[in-house]
Structure 1
Amino acid sequence: MTAATPRRRTLLGAALGAALTAGSAAGCTTGDGPAHPLRLATGPEGGPYNAFGRSFTEAVTAGGHLTLTPVSSSASVDNLQMLADGSADLALTTADVAEDAVLGHDTFDHPIGLAALARVYVNYLHLLAPADGPVRGLADLAGRRVATGAVGSGNQVTAGRLLRQAGIDVRPYALGLAESLDALRSGALDAVFWSGGVPTPAVSALARELPLRFVPLDAVAARLRERYGPVYTAVTLPAGAYGLPAPVTTLGVGNYLTARPAVPEADVRRLLGILFDQWATLLRSVTAGARLEPRFAVSTGAVPLHPGAAAYYRSVYG
């Protein structure tokens, strides 16, 4: 390693410095008293948020100090609305939706009190269509029947932004993953947007029975990053996933584990201890090859770290 190469600890320290400053302003109860039952807003049955949420709640409850209950939902937007009205204590959400919530933009007409525990993994935006169909590129979506994600999902937010940025009008269908893939299989849709881990099991299953085309989104991904900032990144569906003969560049958006600021710091520290101890098992259900690292986990943009999360990262990683 040369003197000009930043050391891993230095990089983590810099990331934590910014995150801890933001986290200290979020506000939270600080007592380390007895833990109370918590509710985690996840996603629809059969989806990756639901799978991760159930695995995580089982791991947390098995630890004996906390009781965590998963609550099914439509996903990101719905989850943060549940945090706002107090029907959930913790929530999974995409980074773009979380940033809208703390800033009071787009879907949210006022800011929502929100704190991040960790950036857990990255969603890949899939645009899939039958290989022998008319959709070969993004421009071919114009006027066609396209599933853009269920109402209340982060998928709907991300797909909608991409289409607006590209200046393409489609015939949108607000469907979840299972319904979207069924409609694509039957010929009722021309294309489907899906935001999730790689490989998504339901997409893999469809690819084994119906030849699929995965449309590159790199050009629009760059413009979205310019417009909305680092909540979006360029990522690649790897060769071999879904039988792809070559990589396909697309749009990535982070997934955050978030909480109401009033969740006790001691509870947050316990939750993160379990997450970091068991991440390999927990992430296996949502995306292949993902790793959870501190410098990645604290990168939560405009969403401040929960003070309990800031304390956890400081105590464990310095």
Structure 2
Amino acid sequence: MKRSVIKVLLVILLIFLPVILHQAYRWLTALPDQITIAAGHPEGRYYSMALQLKDLLEQQLGTKVKVIQTKGSLENLALLRSGKADLGFYQPGAEYVLQGFQTEQEKSKPPQQAVTDRICFIANLYSQVVHVIVPVNSEIIKLADLKGHRIALGEQGSGDLAASLPLLRHAQISLEEITPAYLSYEEIEEQFDQNQLDAAILTVGIEAPVLHELLDTGKYRILEIPYIEALTRKETHFDEYEIPAGMFRRADPVVPPQDLPTVACGAHLLARESVSDELVSGVTAIILHQDFSKQLQLNELIEGGNSFVRDSQGFPLHVGADHIYNPELKPFLNSEFVEVTEGMRSFIVSMLIATYLLWRQIQKRREKAKEHKLDRYIRQLLAIEKKQMKLDGNNLSDGPDLQVLLDEVTILRQENLNQFSAHELNEDRATDAFLEMCHALSDKINAKLLGWKIDRLGEKINKSPESDS
């Protein structure tokens, strides 16, 4: 009966196992209630793009999104690695260029202990173009003229600074030959208005609000960068780029007055490797959708498609993004599902093994219990054998006593046979030995009983002549 119950329970478990695994997978891999995006300065494209992505994620995935204002790429990368941000925008090459570069103010800060997490690539969104901006009436005509002037290079840890430093090296201008200013976009605009700034190097998308706020006024112009091919050869994170004439202002003075060669680098969206594959897949699908590209005027993304958006430059592709870029390579079982259910599968297998071992233990106890009953039968059989040894069949009262012992052996044998099935009798050698002992004892008692009957018959025959005479 108990064995049947165990079998039924195992069948029920196997029937509901897929449902249990599915529900467990949905629970364990559910999209987070809230994620954080490390953006940038409010006047840059990172921030406006983060806000657009926030709205779409909340609408389509139902996940709350928090956008953090930061100083730029290096801070975004640090927030990702420390687990304080799930997604972040990054300018390729920024960490390499800024490694070891710190102002005195930054050097005085205590080092921060960051919890590292592997960073993965999601998408390349647009080109961040290098603009060297000076007042329209400035004496600075070419890049080399920046020497001796106060130049805004971007905030500490920003992509602007990461682009400004190699550009100055390219122009063979050291920081000692200028007065560097590490300013935000707002501070750049304010100091330009107050004539406290001679030039600014901005590395932003050509749709960035700060560019249009400055250049639409007609008060500023953009310097040409010489020897661009040499610059891109030495600084591999830069690509050649051309700003179309009249991009920022088409009334006189036109900005720029003609097509202006410059350089640009990518704008990457990164994520921690531990971020849900489903979430990253949802983010990637939103980015690749034409509505997203059109709303943010990501013309390069629309024209370049897969080849442009996958220009990762050094970061491994996140599994969730790869599922969108290469749907035909998506495994039958989601890697996250396999990882999440691995512990569950181990638990289920362990439970099955434990159930089997418990069942075997119960079986052994049952067998031991049967052996204990057999021992009892054997002890009773030995007691009967001792009794029959005291009876030799010579006394008149031995016959009835022997018959009682013979009946006891028969009853004992019947009780034993009722405790075992035919299969158990065939497999259990101890029971077989017990039955042989019963048969041997029965033969012994029968022999004595037969002798007693013969003696009684002889006595009756001997008494017959005497009765005749």
- TM-score past 0.5 threshold: yes
1:46 aligns with 2:51: no
Return the offset for 1:265.
Answer: 1.1
CA distance in 2, matches of 1:301, 1:106: 21
Q: 2:161 aligns with which of 134, 156, 176?
A: 156
CA distance in 2, matches of 1:262, 1:282: 30
Contact 2:39/2:69, CA 8 A, preserved across alignment: yes
1:85 aligns with 2:91: no
Equivalent positions of 1:281-300 (< 5 A) are 281-284=294-297, 289-292=299-302, 293-300=305-312
- SS of aligned partner of 1:291: helix
CA distance in 2, matches of 1:228, 1:290: 22
Task: Specify which structure has the higher proportion of strand.
Answer: 1
Given the superposition, is the C-alpha separation of residues 107 and 68 from structure 1 closer, same or farther in structure 2, using an over 3 Å criterion? farther
- SS of aligned partner of 2:93: helix
Q: Which residue of 2 aligns with 1:33?
A: 29
TM-score by length of 1: 0.81
Task: Letter of the 2:157 partner, please give it.
Answer: G
Q: Which residue of 1 aligns with 2:393?
A: none
Given the superposition, is the C-alpha separation of residues 32 and 283 from structure 1 closer, same or farther in structure 2, using an over 3 Å criterion? farther
Q: Deviations over 1:3-45 (max 9, x none)?
A: xxxxxxxxxxxxxxxxxxxxxxxxxxxx982110211100122
- SS of aligned partner of 2:193: helix
Return the offset for 1:105.
Answer: 5.2
Q: 1:191 aligns with which of 196, 199, 205?
A: 199
Q: Which residue of 2 aligns with 1:75?
A: 72
More moved, 202-211 vs 170-179: 202-211
CA distance in 2, matches of 1:257, 1:290: 15
Q: What percentage of residue pairs aligned between the two structures are identical?
A: 22
CA distance in 1, matches of 2:266, 2:100: 18
Q: 2:264 aligns with which of 235, 249, 252?
A: 252
Contact 1:199/1:242, CA 8 A, preserved across alignment: no
Q: 1:314 aligns with which of 318, 321, 326?
A: 326
Return the offset for 1:112.
Answer: 6.8
Equivalent positions of 1:145-294 (< 5 A) are 145-169=150-174, 170-219=178-227, 221-229=228-236, 231-243=237-249, 244-277=256-289, 278-284=291-297, 289-292=299-302, 293-294=305-306
Return the offset for 1:52.
Answer: 0.7
- SS of aligned partner of 1:95: coil
Task: Letter of the 1:182 partner, please give it.
Answer: E
Q: Deviations over 1:251-270 (max 9, x none)?
A: 10100000011111111111
CA distance in 1, matches of 2:300, 2:165: 26
Return the offset for 1:150.
Answer: 1.0
Q: Deviations over 1:94-140 (max 9, x none)?
A: 11226x39xx9556999972110001111111001012111110000
Higher CA-based Rg: 2
TM-score by length of 2: 0.56
CA distance in 2, matches of 1:58, 1:105: 34
Given the superposition, is the C-alpha separation of residues 35 and 241 from structure 1 closer, same or farther in structure 2, using an over 3 Å criterion? same
Task: Letter of the 2:200 partner, please give it.
Answer: V
Consecutive unaligned residues in structure 2, runs of 5 or more: 1-26, 103-110, 250-255, 331-469
Q: Which residue of 2 aligns with 1:124?
A: 129
Consecutive unaligned residues in structure 1, runs of 5 or more: 1-30
Greater length-normalized contact order (CA 8 Å, ≥ 6 residues apart): 1
Contact 1:116/1:259, CA 8 A, preserved across alignment: yes
RMSD: 2.8
Q: Which residue of 1 aligns with 2:147?
A: 142
CA distance in 1, matches of 2:208, 2:156: 20
